[in-house]
Amino acid sequence: MAAVNVLEAKGLTKIYGGVEANVDVDLHLDQGKITALIGPNGAGKSTFVGMISGRIAPTRGTVYFKGRDISQLPAHKRMQLGMAYTFQITSIFPGLSVYDNVALAAGLRLAHDKQAHDAKVHAVLDRIGLDDRADQTAGDLSYGHQRVLEIAMGLAQEPEVFILDEPTQGLSETEVDAFIALMKSIAGETTILLIEHNMRVVAALADHVTVLDQGRVLASGTFAEIHANDAVQAAYLGSTPHA
Amino acid sequence: MMASRKPLALHLGILALLLVLFFVLPAYHVGAFSRIMVLAIYAMGYNLLFGYTGLLSLGHAMFFAAGMYGFGLTTNLTGFSVIPAFASAMLAAGLLALGVGYLALRTAGVAFMIVTLMFAQTVYLIILYFGTYTRGDEGFVVQQAQRQLAGIDLTTETARYFTAFILFSVCFLAMAKLVQMPFGKRLIAIRENEERARMLGYDVANLKLRAMVISGVFSGVAGASYALLFGYVGASFAGVQYSIFPLLWVLLGGAGTTIGPLIGVIFMFYLIDISSGWTNAYMLVAGIVLVLLTLFAPQGIVGTLRKRGVAWLP
Amino acid sequence: MDFGPHLMLASLEGAVISAILVLTAMGLSLVFGVMRVVNVAHGEFFMLGAVLAWVVSTTLGGHPAIGFIGALIVAPVLVGCIAAGVDRFVLKRVNYDADRTIVATIGVLYIIQQSTLMLYGPEARPVQPPFNTRLSLPWFEFGENGFAMIWPWGLSITSYKLFVIFAAAAVLVALWLLLTRTRIGLIMRATQQDSDTAQAFGVPVGKVYSWVFGLGAGLAALGAVLVVPIQQAHYLMGGDPLLLAFIVVIIGGLGSLPGTVIAALLIGMSDGIISVFFSPTLAKIIATFLVAMVLVFRPQGLLGRAET
């Protein structure tokens, strides 16, 4: 099956007062595949996904969603088209119940149909293992649970493209395992862009890996290819990415 | 989901209690409660924006005044009867809120507070400037002949109480429903985490503007009701003090709760009523309550109760 | 009077208004600049300064100059101490959270204003100026006899008003020296830049905040002491200075001290000139509306630079 581009970035560039955060970054996401975006700290990964999701206005460059130029659309319109985004620093509605957090995420599509809405929320909570905590205030959850909740919110949006900014940061090993299993279960139906530091996760999940360094694409390929790439090794200051 | 029966029972119980109060309270307090119910509409309107959406306006008196003058001026100058005058009042408040919201919502936080304060001050000064029609600080009286609806004289104590009660009930139940609806939940989402709400695909700017307009219309309804039921229209209702009052009521009762505004108004009304009995510096009480609330109970009466175990409180 | 002399008179009145305004607005701007909070009770510290000036001058008696000098020292210091107390017992406890500080200072506003009403009463009371000679001013004109100096009737200023202008200028210079040439100023600027880092380098940030808040209120009180010989002391007199000071601080760019000075001159002068020629209410309507628009479209102020 020929790969279909769901999301494509062409020549995305962001310059902050003379500092080049991203220069001519090209990237495309194949339908139903998991693409990992890796690179050392300060490589410009968050700036890049910020430009894709519409949170950061690019200096120049274009973003296409299913062939349509969405560069001028504000963030919320891009999300409405079928994108979801989880923040690097956990971002939930701390004063609301777990149920309401997920209900808000599902509500954009389902708010008109009460029963389908409620069913969807419970289905997502069940899948992620938070159903027994539905009535708990989200801000009172443990850090790990809050992270999982944010991913659950992304799932509830039923996105075509799911962008996750360092989702496993601060999670325990068992929680990381659960995350890997979850991602594997949704890949295929959902196209995933993963920003990740944890090479175990990248190795386990990524169909395709793109390496950013100093705002530019350094390398691109399968995990094995990237792993063997000398330039990538050098970019990580000689320290081998712990596979 | 949480049982939605308890809140409904509470809301209907409160309305029933207000109905009973008419028959058991002495005349003075019946008059006081007519006023309290009208002011509570104002507080509920403010609460939608401050308590639910998380936007602190320091200029809501302009919407109250838009309703009050929208009603008073149309009856006095163009001879509108009650219903069209009331409709013009709501329209005036809604349009003002739309315009102010469109501009002020470009700012956030402290700038939003100051911008709303400045716009309200502009409206207040405009009322003074057109003193020929508004009679400025002195204000004017809406004549008894113009406060008749379907043959009922709304100036009698009984008619006044029940009109206030009906208006309050409609607004109270509508607001309780509104904040339970997806729209209300989305406003709360903006209060809790605006960026997250945006990244879930919600048009935050549009939602805020709609909250502003609904809040303005509620405030305008309160202003028009005040003119209708108490027959007086004056610039003091457009002053800074009347922008501070709803903040005070909502903070005291509990921001982001359905019954908080009413409870805040009742408490504050009687606090000021009692203290003005022994000093003309009755606003001292308001000042002390504000400081104590910010220091010790930022969640107000209902918010504190909710935290101390009555979690289902709406 | 002709237009020319009339304009000069208006400008002089404007200069007096600017002088008072610059002190009041500097206080507000300083507090916002260093502490990042908006003090809504600022106008009440101004009022308190005026009322205390009356109290001090009536208590001391004797020649008006004795009372005036007494007030000049006592009122700002006392008001500064009260403000420092407010900082310690209220602002510190809400952690200088922007929203809660506004709400709390609204409360403080009413507490000060209404306490004054209880203790001082609703009357407006005058304070005698220490000196008050009327100085006629000349005007130059090209007449039939060529260039001539005339003394138009009504074109005059009192020696006291001139003193106010110079006093304000002197205080400004002193403040500027304090901020740029002393250790105290250095500490304040360090705190303004980054309070966390300042704390790490041993700056007692809590104490600095109390001092800054006190200094800000003291400046307002000082302006008020200067103004009471011209305008009487009244418990509701804090509203207008608060609004004007807000306008000045917003136009000048929040927290920028040079911007504040320029804006105070601009607003004070135009207020003086406009209210001589136009309806003051209309002037206020336009000014208030324009300030709101400035905040909407240029939140960094007319004179401030955009942060990147």
Backbone φ, ψ for residue A33 (5° rounding): -100, 165
Q: Which domains does chain C have, with CATH numbers?
A: 3-297 (1.10.3470)
Largest CA distance in chain C: 74
Interchain proximity B201–A79, CB inside 8 Å: yes
Alpha carbon of C115: minimum distance to chain B alpha carbons (Å):
7
Interchain proximity B104–C93, CB inside 8 Å: no
The residue of chain A with its CA nearest to that of B200 is A105
- Dump pLDDT digits (tens) for A4-49: 788 888 888 988 887 888 888 888 888 888 999 988 888 888 889 8
Q: Are A222 and A209 in contact (CB under 8 A)?
A: yes
> Which residues in C lie closer than 8 A to residue B113 (C-beta atoms)?
38, 99, 102
Average pLDDT over residues C179-184: 87
The residue of chain A with its CA nearest to that of B181 is A111
> Which residues in B lie closer than 8 A to residue A85 (C-beta atoms)?
199
Query: What residue spans define the domains of chain B?
Result: 25-239
- Candidates 3.40.50.2300, 3.40.50.720, 3.40.50.300, 3.40.50.150; CATH matching A5-88+161-235: 3.40.50.300
Q: Name the least confident of B164-168, B189-193, B200-204, B299-303.
A: B299-303
d(CA C113, CA C281): 24
Alpha carbon of C140: minimum distance to chain B alpha carbons (Å):
38
Average pLDDT over residues C276-299: 80
Given a cut of 60, is residue C210 above it in pLDDT? yes
- Dump pLDDT digits (tens) for B66-107: 999 999 999 988 888 888 999 999 999 999 999 999 999 998
Non-local CB neighbours of B183 within 8 Å, separated by 6+ positions = B207, B210
Given a cut of 70, is residue A237 above it in pLDDT? no
Most confident of B132-141, B167-176, C55-64, C226-235: B167-176
Q: Which pLDDT score, from 0 to 100, does residue B52 have?
A: 94
Chains with ≥3 CB–CB distances under 8 Å to A: B
Average pLDDT over residues B144-162: 82
> Which residues in C lie closer than 8 A to residue B283 (C-beta atoms)?
110, 113-114
The residue of chain A with its CA nearest to that of B198 is A76
Strand partners, A64: A8, A69
Question: How many angstroms separate the Cα of B243 from the Cα of each of B236, B238, C259?
Answer: 11, 8, 30
Non-local CB neighbours of B195 within 8 Å, separated by 6+ positions = A55, A87, A91
B26 and chain A: CB distance < 8 Å anywhere?
no
DSSP string, B22-61: HHHS-HHHHHHHHHHHHHHHHHHHHHIIIIIT----S-TH
Given a cut of 50, is residue A1 above it in pLDDT? no
- Dump pLDDT digits (tens) for A132-185: 888 888 888 888 888 889 989 998 998 989 999 988 888 888 888 888 988 888
When CB atoms are compared, the residue of A94, A99, A111 closest to B182 is: A111
A210 and chain B: CB distance < 8 Å anywhere?
no
Share of chain C above pLDDT 90, in %: 32
> Which residues in C lie closer than 8 A to residue B291 (C-beta atoms)?
90, 104, 107-108, 111
Q: Which pLDDT score, from 0 to 100, does residue C259 have?
A: 86
Given a cut of 60, is residue C306 above it in pLDDT? no
- How far from each other are the two terminal CA atoms of chain C, in whole angstroms? 52
Alpha carbon of A190: minimum distance to chain B alpha carbons (Å):
17
Q: Are C293 and C244 in contact (CB under 8 A)?
A: no
Alpha carbon of A91: minimum distance to chain B alpha carbons (Å):
6
Cβ-count burial C42-53 (b if 16+ within 10 Å, e if not):
bbbbbbbbbbbb
The residue of chain A with its CA nearest to that of B183 is A111
d(CA C42, CA C239): 9
B106 and chain A: CB distance < 8 Å anywhere?
no
Q: Which pLDDT score, from 0 to 100, does residue A239 have?
A: 52
User: In the predicted model, what is the mean pLDDT of chain B?
Assistant: 89
User: In the predicted model, what is the mean pLDDT of chain C?
Assistant: 85
Interchain proximity B189–A104, CB inside 8 Å: yes
The residue of chain C with its CA nearest to that of B114 is C292
Average pLDDT over residues C201-214: 89
Given a cut of 60, is residue B257 above it in pLDDT? yes
Average pLDDT over residues C231-260: 84
Alpha carbon of B210: minimum distance to chain A alpha carbons (Å):
17
Interchain proximity C296–B244, CB inside 8 Å: no
Q: Which pLDDT score, from 0 to 100, does residue A243 have?
A: 43
Q: Which pLDDT score, from 0 to 100, does residue B240 have?
A: 86
Given a cut of 80, is residue C32 above it in pLDDT? yes
A99 and chain B: CB distance < 8 Å anywhere?
yes
Coil vs helix vs strand at A69: strand
Question: How far is CA B113 from its chain centroid?
Answer: 17
Nearest CA-CA partner of B220 in B51, B55, B85, B50: B85
When CB atoms are compared, the residue of B115, B282, B291 closest to C292 is: B115
Q: Which pLDDT score, from 0 to 100, does residue B124 have?
A: 93
Chains with ≥3 CB–CB distances under 8 Å to C: B
Q: Which pLDDT score, from 0 to 100, does residue B174 have?
A: 95
d(CA B272, CA B254): 19
Q: Which pLDDT score, from 0 to 100, does residue B4 have?
A: 65
Query: What residue spans define the domains of chain A?
Result: 5-88+161-235
Share of chain A above pLDDT 70, in %: 95
Number of continuous H segments (helices) and E segments (strands) in chain C: 11, 4
Question: How far is CA C263 from its chain centroid?
Answer: 12
Share of chain C above pLDDT 70, in %: 92
- Cβ within 8 Å of B, A 130-159: 135, 153, 157
Given a cut of 60, is residue B125 above it in pLDDT? yes
Using a CB–CB cut-off of 8 Å, the residues of C that contact B are 38, 90, 93-94, 98-100, 102-104, 106-115, 117-118, 122, 239, 243, 246, 250, 279, 281-282, 284-285, 288-289, 291-293, 295-297, 299
The residue of chain B with its CA nearest to that of C235 is B281
Average pLDDT over residues C113-120: 92
Q: Which pLDDT score, from 0 to 100, does residue B166 have?
A: 94
Coil vs helix vs strand at C146: strand
**How would you write C75-133 as a 3-class SS string?**
HHHHHHHHHHHHHHHHHHHHCCCHHHHHHHHHHHHHHHHHHHHHHHCCCCECCCCCCCC
A93 and chain B: CB distance < 8 Å anywhere?
yes
DSSP string, B49-106: IIIIT----S-THHHHHHHHHHHHHHHHHH---HHHHHHHHHHHHHHHHHHHHHHHTT
Residue written as token pair 């929040």: C254
Q: Which pLDDT score, from 0 to 100, does residue B1 have?
A: 42
The residue of chain B with its CA nearest to that of C113 is B284
Q: Name the least confident of B71-75, B112-116, C75-79, C189-193.
A: C189-193
Interchain proximity C288–B288, CB inside 8 Å: no
Q: Which pLDDT score, from 0 to 100, does residue B2 have?
A: 47
Share of chain A above pLDDT 90, in %: 13
Backbone φ, ψ for residue A204 (5° rounding): -75, -30
Please say whether the dihedral angle defined by the alpha carbons of residues A176, A181, A185 and A187, taken in this order, is positive or negative.
positive
Alpha carbon of B96: minimum distance to chain C alpha carbons (Å):
14
Q: What's the ipTM?
A: 0.87
- Mutate which of B183, B187, B190, B199 to test chain A, going by most A C-beta atoms within 10 A? B199
When CB atoms are compared, the residue of B119, B125, B286 closest to C110 is: B286
User: In the predicted model, what is the mean pLDDT of chain A?
Assistant: 85
Q: Which pLDDT score, from 0 to 100, does residue A2 have?
A: 47
- Dump pLDDT digits (tens) for C124-175: 888 888 887 787 777 777 766 677 777 776 677 788 888 999 999 999 999 9
Confidence of residue C302 (pLDDT cuts 50, 70, 90): low
Size of interface B-C (CB pairs under 8 A): 115
Question: How far is CA B283 from its chain centroid?
Answer: 19
